[in-house]
Amino acid sequence: MSIRHLPAAVAAAMLAGFALAAPAVAQVSVQPAAAVTGMTSGRIGPSLTALVALAGVVIGRLALARSTGRIGTGNRGRMAIVAMVSGLIGVVVGGVLAATADGGPGTGNGIVASWAAMVLGLIGMVLGGLALARSRRTQPTG
């Protein structure tokens, strides 16, 4: 798969992630106070959201590297926008999942992954914004 197809692949992964996360978010169950191990239904949605946010960080970093002209000639603006949108999804969905999680870390509700998604999403948005600003500044006029 070439780098040109990366934004489409990220979009497909995000759609698949939300399709899988919807039943996990809709299910409401009470977990015991003891620590839960393994992948529970409450951890799947936040984990997928954190992966989407991580993809935003990676794409934002690639777009930032490409905006300086060091690596190849990809579509810098599009990659930066994909990074910003992935980051925004991570921040918003991670925040919603963190707000609706019952209990704290170790209860199987995905609170740690929700916070990780928000932090990674914020980083992805910043990297995408920097890359977008640099790509617009370096574009030839006329």
47, 16, 131, 115 alpha-carbon torsion, rounded to 10°: -20
Q: What tens digit of pLDDT does each residue of 13-72 get? A: 665 565 555 555 555 555 555 555 666 667 778 888 899 999 999 998 988 886 555 545
| CA R_g for the chain | 17
How far from chain centre, in Å, is Cα 3? 18
Look at residue 138 in the predicted model and tell me its pLDDT. 60
Q: Which pLDDT does position 92 carry in this prediction?
A: 92
For residue 40, the model assigns a pLDDT of 62
- Candidates 116, 132, 11; CA nearest to 54 is 116
Determine the pLDDT at residue 126.
93
- Evaluate if residue 102 carries a pLDDT over 70: yes
**Which of 30, 25, 17, 53 has the alpha carbon at shortest distance from 41?**
25
CA dist 142 and 50 (Å) reads 40
| pTM of structure | 0.65
pLDDT digits (tens, 9 = 90+) for 70-97: 545 557 788 888 999 999 999 998 988 8
Query: E strand or H helix at 111, and its extent?
Result: helix 111-138
